[in-house]
Structure 1
Amino acid sequence: MNTDQPVDHTFYVDDSGIPSTGLALYTALGVPTGRAPEVLRAWRDLRNQWYREQGVPTDFELHATNFLSGRGRPGGRNPAKIERYRMVQTALDVIGAQTSLSIVTVYTEGPTHWGRAKRQAYGGLLRCLDRRLAEAEERAALVVDGDGSEHLYEEVHRQVDPQRIPSAAVEVPAHTSALIQMADVVAHSACQAIARQESRRFMWGWYSRHLPKAPAPERC
């Protein structure tokens, strides 16, 4: 396949999971070519609201695990946990309201080997995306959270060889990409939809409630 041809979507990818149980998952947010500005505008409006109401700087990196656990003092402020919960739920609502976005989450569980579970989950994501793209006769590019040092993405891409995703994922640090931060929020809520940890009972229904049009996480 000619890799110089334009792509129809860019999928922004982030991972989540629970190493102690072997749960590994990847979430991809698909943005049609040319539609990113409207998605980012809605996200920017939300971040401006957070700044006005909670003092959270618009450029503060939203990392769901840390934020929901109460770690970090964005802008010198320390929102109460209940406020943090509400903010992340609002973020999911904003993501769910973007009709141009598509959401795909794929997971696996390999309690004896966390690294192997991650590779399997990422391979499952590539296969799932490739099937969907083939049905639509479309092509896509991938952008994943990273600093360029993770070999997993290129290695698994070569193994799976997805015909509708001609190039391995480009690694981009999450703090520079609002869309990857959005994928992180979705991945974290998907993780608890699957794992249902008792300490995170309040999150069990977030994925289905705030992202009602998103398919349920798919096990590979």
Structure 2
Amino acid sequence: MNTRQPVDHTFYVDESGIPSTGLALYTALGVPTGRAPEVLRAWRDLRDQWHREYGVPTDFELHATNFLSGRGRPGGLNPAKIERYRMAQAALDVIGAQPSLSIVTVYTEEPAHWGRAKRQAYEGLLRHLDRRLAEVGERAALVVDGDGSERLYEQVHRQVGPRCIPLPAAEVPAHISALIQMADVVAHSACQAIARQHSRRFMWSWYSRHLPKAPAPERC
């Protein structure tokens, strides 16, 4: 396959899970080539609104686990948890309202070995995306949160050999990618749709309520 050919989609990928229970999942946001600017405009509008209403700087990294737990002081401020919950739900609404975005979440559970679960979940994501792309005759690139040190992505890519995803995922730090941050908040809400931790009961319905067009997380 000629890897110099253009791709039709770029999937922005982030992980979530609960190591103590062996739950691991990956969420991918698919953006058709050329449509990223309109998605990012909607996201910037939301971030501008957060800055006006809550004082959260537009360049503050949204990391759902920390943000929803009340950690971090964006712009030196400390929004109340209820305000953080509202912001996260507004983020999901913006993501869910983008007609060009597609969402895929794949998960698995290995109670005795979370590292194995993480590998299996990423393998499941690659296979799911490759089947989906093959059905419509398209190709895609992957971008995943990372600093370039994670060998799992290249190893699993070689193992699976996805025909419609010619190259292993490129690792990009979340703090410089709004689309990775968007994938993060979706992955975090998907995690609670599956795990249903009692302490996160308020999040159980977020995935289905705010992302009504997204398929339910798929177990691999």
TM-score by length of 2: 1.00
CA apart distance, 1:141: 0.1
Distance in 1 separating the partners of 2:61 and 2:113: 30
Q: Does 1:204 align with 2:204?
A: yes
Matched residues in 2 for 1:57 and 1:86: separation? Answer: 16
User: Counterparts of 1:132-211 in structure 2 under 5 Å?
Assistant: 132-211=132-211
In structure 1, what is the Cα distance between the partners aligned to 2:189 and 2:111? 20
- After superposition, what is the alpha-carbon deviation per residue over 1:162-198, rounded to whole angstroms, capped at 9, x for unaligned? 0000000000000000000000000000000000000
2-structure distance, mates of 1:23, 1:55: 35
The gaps in structure 1 that reach 5 residues or longer are none
The whole-number CA distance in structure 1 between the counterparts of 2:211 and 2:6 is: 29
- 3-state SS in 2 of match to 1:29: strand
Three-state SS of the structure 2 residue aligned to 1:12 is strand
Q: 1:47 aligned to 2:47?
A: yes
Question: CA separation in 2, counterparts of 1:134 and 1:120?
Answer: 21
Distance 2:110 2:37 in 1: 38
Displaced runs of 4 or more, over 2 A: none
CA RMSD of aligned residues (A): 0.3
Query: SS of the counterpart of 1:199?
Result: helix
Give aligned pairs, total: 220
- For 2:198 and 2:138, the matched residues in 1 are separated by 41
How far apart, CA to CA, are the structure 2 residues paired with 1:52 and 1:114? Answer: 40
SS where residue 106 of structure 1 aligns? strand
Provide TM-score, normalisation by structure 1: 1.00
Q: Deviations over 1:187-216 (max 9, x none)?
A: 000000000000000000000000000000
Matching residue of 1:86: 86
* Identity within the alignment, %: 88
User: Aligned-pair distance for 1:90?
Assistant: 0.3
Structure-2 residue corresponding to 1:37: 37
